Chains A and B, each alone.
Chain A
Amino acid sequence: DIVLTQTPLSSPVTLGQPASISCKSSQSLVHSDGNTYLSWLQQRPGQPPKLLLYKISNRFSGVPDRFSGSGAGTDFTLKISWVEAEDVGVYYCMQSSQFPRTFGQGTKVEIK
């Protein structure tokens, strides 16, 4: 199974400041079709997860452009250009290149 390792696990940030989360995969996420199926999800407190980004860097409908994704192969990054109060929650990376689908452990973003 593919293991996704997120760092940090907790990220206290000041409003208006940037935040960055790393997701490292135990093996390449490049699918045989040439795509890399690495997604980022946000889970606000008490809510179900929501898709933010798919295929590394594609923002899902309605996602603010302060969220961006980058990376390739086994190393990926989610960046929030400036953190707003509504961004508080847990962020997960997820791979859907192989079965079983796997998630990172989650990174808790909170306001300092």
Chain B
Amino acid sequence: EVQLVESGGGLVQPGGSLRLSCAASGFTFSVYSMNWVRQAPGKGLEWLAYISASGVTIYEADSVRGRFTISRDDAKNSLFLQMNSLRAEDTAVYYCARLRFMDVWGQGTTVTVSS
């Protein structure tokens, strides 16, 4: 079964850091591009970052550029999102999604930024 499982969310103070992980299974992770998308409480979807299959090409949303970094470890079938300088407005459910079509999504991990 093709599956993505996010982890690493939690409660963090403003200015803090978190590292999210997305574990892939059921497909050859190394040949697929990946994305991070978030959804603030009661709001719509916001794309955050993209990484190509090779890991060479990376794009990030203006809202997170310089604070969030996407990366991947194909040996571990894992995608990561390093989040620094977190703000209250970063509170959201964070999803990883496969390919430009976003054909497979994980269940999400919740990040709450609050003092």
> Contact residues of A with B, CB < 8 Å?
37, 39, 41, 48-51, 54-55, 60, 92, 94, 96, 99-106
**Chain B residues whose CB sits within 8 angstroms of the CB of A92 once the complex forms:** 44-45
**Chain B residues whose CB sits within 8 angstroms of the CB of A101 once the complex forms:** 35, 47, 50, 100
Question: Is there an interface contact between A100 and B61, defined as CB atoms closer than 8 Å?
Answer: yes
- CB < 8 Å neighbour of A54 from B97, B103, B106: B103
For residue B31, CB closer than 8 A to chain A, the reply is no
**Chain B residues whose CB sits within 8 angstroms of the CB of A54 once the complex forms:** 101, 103
State A49–B103 Cα separation when bound (angstroms): 9
**Chain A residues whose CB sits within 8 angstroms of the CB of B45 once the complex forms:** 41, 49, 92, 94, 103, 106
For residue B32, CB closer than 8 A to chain A, the reply is no
Question: Distance (Å) between the CB of B43 and the closest chain A CB?
Answer: 9
Question: Distance (Å) between the CB of B63 and the closest chain A CB?
Answer: 9
Query: Total A-B residue pairs with C-beta atoms closer than 8 Å?
Result: 53
Residues of B in contact with A, size category: 20 to 34
**Chain B residues whose CB sits within 8 angstroms of the CB of A106 once the complex forms:** 44-45
Question: Distance (Å) between the CB of B100 and the closest chain A CB?
Answer: 4
**Chain B residues whose CB sits within 8 angstroms of the CB of A100 once the complex forms:** 47, 59, 61-62
For residue B102, CB closer than 8 A to chain A, the reply is yes
Question: Is there an interface contact between A39 and B61, defined as CB atoms closer than 8 Å?
Answer: no
Main secondary structure of the interface of B (DSSP, over half): loop
> Contact residues of B with A, CB < 8 Å?
35, 44-47, 50, 59, 61-62, 95, 97, 100-108
Question: Is there an interface contact between A48 and B95, defined as CB atoms closer than 8 Å?
Answer: yes
Question: Is there an interface contact between A103 and B46, defined as CB atoms closer than 8 Å?
Answer: yes
Closest B residue to A1 by CB, please name it: B62
Closest B residue to A101 by CB, please name it: B47
Question: Distance (Å) between the CB of A26 and the closest chain B CB?
Answer: 16
Question: Is there an interface contact between A49 and B95, defined as CB atoms closer than 8 Å?
Answer: yes
Question: Is there an interface contact between A51 and B100, defined as CB atoms closer than 8 Å?
Answer: no
Question: Is there an interface contact between B44 and A41, defined as CB atoms closer than 8 Å?
Answer: no
**Chain B residues whose CB sits within 8 angstroms of the CB of A96 once the complex forms:** 100-102
Question: Is there an interface contact between B95 and A105, defined as CB atoms closer than 8 Å?
Answer: no
Question: Distance (Å) between the CB of B35 and the closest chain A CB?
Answer: 7
